[in-house]
């Protein structure tokens, strides 16, 4: 698959020249990563990324949901979809699209779906507010997104849970016999920032700083905050998107109904999310594992955790951004 994709990219002389100039690394599970403007991108999606950057034209009413992989993206796009479309379905379970469609079909990825299928997808016919998902770093977003009045919602997750979730996600796609060896290799690469859309701290800090500089355009959410206060976060999200809940809606329990429909447990148990694959090849069920906070403590050694915490303190110092990593590591026998 990798060789075929690289051959396809070679059909474009300009892109092939760019590809040949970029540093390459093999990820721990064998896929190729490219270093482009300070971030590592999966080779299979690189052509789509460049097309997205060149050809995407933002509308002022667009909504962009951004994140690092495995940071709560599927949960967030489900919430966004139901918030902006809640008047269409009256919250009748037999009418809710989330029962019959994977959330990523309702709010598709730009570089991992739309531009992966077609270098110049026709997105103009999509009614406003057009809503898309991306893992692209803030500094590499098309200028039309940055310069428009569109809304960007960014969700992040504490880096150790994010790492474990992504490690497990890739194992689901490419099973490896020795999980412990793969964990050690994956951790070393993640620690060095060599992973899809990494380094983690750079990615998170770019969106964090953008949210501080322009809070009306960029909303920064933490996965842990969503878990702790999903009702409050859902109201905050709706307000930011321009779809606030009315007093009557709140009294009718609409917010609670949205959070129930979009809950991890509900989505995970739907047939549509147990079968099928994404355009990238990832099985739908790989997007629903545990959804827990602190699961990293069941996998990382104390030494690994200490190194990651020290790295975070160094990289995030003075930014105002922090993560609660107080969960105690469970020592392995």
pTM of the predicted protein model: 0.89
- Rounded to 5°, the CA angle 158-165-205 comes to 35
Q: What are phi and psi of 19, to 5 degrees?
A: -55, -45
Query: Is residue 186 a contact partner of residue 120, using CB atoms and an 8 Å limit?
Result: no
Burial of residue 30, with CB atoms counted within 10 A of its CB: 0-12 exposed, 13-18 middle, 19 or more buried: exposed
What pairing do the DSSP bridges indicate for beta strands 63-67 and 39-42?
Answer: unpaired
Q: What pLDDT is recorded for position 71?
A: 94
Q: Which residues pair with 42 in a beta bridge?
A: 33
- CATH of span 23-316: 3.40.50.300
d(CA 101, CA 61): 24
pLDDT in tens, the chain (333 residues): 443 444 444 457 888 999 999 999 999 888 999 999 999 999 999 999 999 999 999 999 999 999 999 999 999 999 999 999 988 876 565 578 888 888 988 999 999 999 999 999 999 999 999 999 999 999 999 999 999 999 999 999 999 999 999 998 888 777 666 666 789 999 999 999 999 999 999 999 999 999 999 999 999 999 999 999 999 999 999 999 999 999 999 999 999 999 998 988 888 777 777 776 666 666 666 666 666 787 898 889 999 999 999 999 999 999 999 998 865 444 332
Query: Is residue 114 a contact partner of residue 142, using CB atoms and an 8 Å limit?
Result: no
Q: What pLDDT is recorded for position 174?
A: 75
Instruction: Report the phi/psi class of residue 280: left, alpha or beta, with left for phi > 0 and alpha for psi in -120 to 50.
Output: alpha
3-state secondary structure of 183: helix
Q: What pLDDT is recorded for position 197?
A: 97
What pairing do the DSSP bridges indicate for beta strands 24-26 and 32-36?
Answer: antiparallel
Q: What pLDDT is recorded for position 285?
A: 63
Active-site residues: which are they?
135
Per-domain residue ranges of the chain: 23-316
d(CA 329, CA 314): 21
């Amino acid at each position: 698959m990798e060789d075929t994709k690289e051959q396809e990219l070679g059909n474009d002389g300009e892109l092939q020249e760019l590809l040949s100039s970029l540093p390459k690394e093999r990820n721990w599970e064998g896929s190729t990563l490219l270093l482009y403007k300070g971030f590592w991108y999966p080779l299979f999606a690189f052509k789509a990324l460049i097309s997205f950057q060149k050809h995407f034209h933002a509308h002022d009413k667009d909504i962009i949901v951004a994140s690092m992989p495995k940071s709560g993206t599927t949960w967030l796009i489900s919430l966004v979809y139901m918030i902006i479309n809640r008047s269409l379905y009256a919250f009748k379970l037999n009418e809710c699209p989330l029962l019959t469609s994977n959330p990523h079909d309702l709010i598709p990825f730009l570089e991992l779906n739309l531009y992966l299928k077609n270098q110049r997808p026709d997105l103009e016919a999509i009614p406003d507010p057009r809503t898309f998902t991306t893992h692209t770093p803030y500094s590499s977003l098309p200028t039309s997104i940055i310069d428009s009045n569109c809304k960007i919602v960014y969700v992040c997750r504490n880096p150790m849970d994010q790492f474990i979730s992504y490690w497990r996600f890739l194992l689901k796609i490419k099973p490896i016999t020795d999980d412990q060896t793969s964990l050690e290799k994956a951790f070393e690469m993640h620690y060095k920032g060599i992973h899809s859309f990494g380094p983690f701290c750079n990615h998170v800090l770019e969106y964090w700083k953008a949210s501080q500089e322009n809070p009306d355009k960029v909303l920064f959410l933490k996965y842990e905050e969503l878990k702790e206060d999903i009702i409050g976060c859902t109201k905050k999200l709706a307000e930011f998107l321009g779809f606030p809940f009315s007093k009557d809606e709140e009294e009718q329990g609409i917010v609670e109904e949205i959070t129930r429909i979009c809950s991890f447990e509900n989505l995970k148990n739907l047939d549509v999310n147990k079968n099928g694959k994404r355009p990238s090849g990832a099985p739908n069920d790989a997007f629903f594992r545990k959804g827990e906070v602190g699961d990293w403590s069941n996998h990382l050694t104390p030494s690994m955790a200490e190194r990651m915490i020290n790295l975070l303190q160094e990289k995030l110092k003075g930014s105002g951004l922090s993560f609660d990593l107080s969960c105690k590591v469970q020592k392995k026998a």
